[in-house]
Amino acid sequence: MEDGTKLFVEQIDGQHYSKKNTGAFRHTGMPFGSKECCPYNSYLNCNVELKKDAIVTFAMNYGGDRPYSALNLRRASCPAGGYIVAKGKGDDIRYESYDADHTLVGTVRTSKNAIS
């Protein structure tokens, strides 16, 4: 993100049931501009439906290494073949969800006045 804030990201829905407690897709301290991938055709780890348009959900937290800070934690979903982009700085961060065709499909904000 623009101010150097780091992210914690963990998949919490859409993966195989055996991976729900182990956090199959989990990255801590992701810096600005970094990209991580969990392929939609990875049945066990990422997408139990094996479809690009199946919905997968992630716990997103800015601040890096404290994944469950109630103030910063948000759920963001996107199609399994798509991606999520974190934008903003400070306590006004938004997570934009895109499909495989790069079409914006949703936005979740972290600002104090936002509804999540």
Among 41-50, 95-104, 105-114, the range with the most confident prediction by mean pLDDT is 95-104
Asked whether the beta carbons of 107 and 96 are under 8 A apart, the reply is yes
22-38: average pLDDT? 77
Confidence of residue 101 (pLDDT cuts 50, 70, 90): very high
% of residues, the chain, pLDDT over 90? 17
- Answer with the residue of higher pLDDT: 12 or 70: 12
Pick from 44, 22, 82: nearest CA to 14: 44
